Amino acid sequence: MRPNPSPNPSPAAAARPAQNPVMGVAWMFGSSLAFIAVNGIVRHLGTDLPTAQSAFLRFLLGLVFLLPALRTVALSRFPARTWRLFGLRGAIHSVAVVLWFYAMARIPVAEVQAIGYLNPIGVTLGAALLFGERLALRRILAIAVAMLGALVILRPGLRELSPGHFAQLGAAICFAGSYLTMKKLSDLAPAGVVVAMMSVTVALFLAPFAIAVWVPPTGAQYLGLFATALFATLAHYSMTRAFRVAPVSVTQPVTFLQLIWASLLGLLMFGEPVDPFVILGGVMIIAAISYITWREARLKRGATPPVNAAKQ
């Protein structure tokens, strides 16, 4: 006779949210819209403010959403190694967001979005190089497909590449480094503290650069950067909720919609024509990432992040 399940589940099991793939997809859908709102606002702000100043104000204004976590930080006592990792992540992320702001103001929104999909590929390679994680043949082939997708987007030799393209490639690499550092920190500090310390350290690192090139912002620019911080917070919150109620392998494909939204945003708001090569290359990269994510889910490993996991 089959025994009855225990009427008193463990506290961990009781606290775990029920799996709901439909809600997971809905939360990820909302996250993709919020991230595109961030892209649209930054693109609209353009180059009127220096890049370092825009990035600094985005994180400084975003601290208002992290006040509860900042109180936890103030009461925490971390060893020196943890503080060094907080500082290292802040430095890497600072470079990433400055490069991203620079690229967003200078190249089409869809191209920024598509190139940004390389971030998880950078994490996979970084985990292999820095942490000794094994790269199976399937993962190597998936990475090769993603890199080929990047070449389809950029088409070097067939068109002139601008500094914005190289900036976004650098941003993808730096965001990957930020995620790898976050993976180490996740074992040493609560998630809320890790997020809050990222905002604090990025604001501190960027402050001297912002002050050096400071241009008095208008009220509309302050409002736009505050909205950027708000939508970025909503995007990360929605993404976290999605991961709590559905497997990453279910929610990952929804990130493809961001490329669709980015193409429509660029076309309708900024008059940027839809580039079929950008769409094709983006699809290739997303397909490779989705395959790697699916394999990670099968192997119950977490080395590869979902798209935008480290996005500003």
169-210 residue pLDDT tens: 999 999 999 988 988 887 888 877 888 888 899 999 999 999
Within a domain: 255: yes
CA separation for the pair 75, 79 (Å, rounded): 13
Per the structure, the count of domains in the chain is: 1
Within a domain: 39: no
pLDDT of residue 16: 53
Q: What is the mean pLDDT of residues 46-75?
A: 88
> Domain range holding 61?
50-299
Within a domain: 108: yes
HSE (CB half, 13 Å, CA atoms) of 63? 17
φ, ψ at 218 (rounded to 5°): -80, 170
Within a domain: 289: yes
Within a domain: 87: yes
pLDDT of residue 281: 93
Asked if the model's pLDDT at residue 5 lies above 60, the reply is: no
Distances (CA, A) of 41 to 139, 162, 249: 35, 21, 30
Within a domain: 237: yes
Distances (CA, A) of 144 to 137, 206, 256: 10, 35, 19
Within a domain: 213: yes
pLDDT of residue 112: 94
Asked if the model's pLDDT at residue 271 lies above 50, the reply is: yes
Within a domain: 101: yes
pLDDT of residue 2: 45
- For residue 249 the two structure tokens come to 């392998």
pLDDT of residue 11: 43
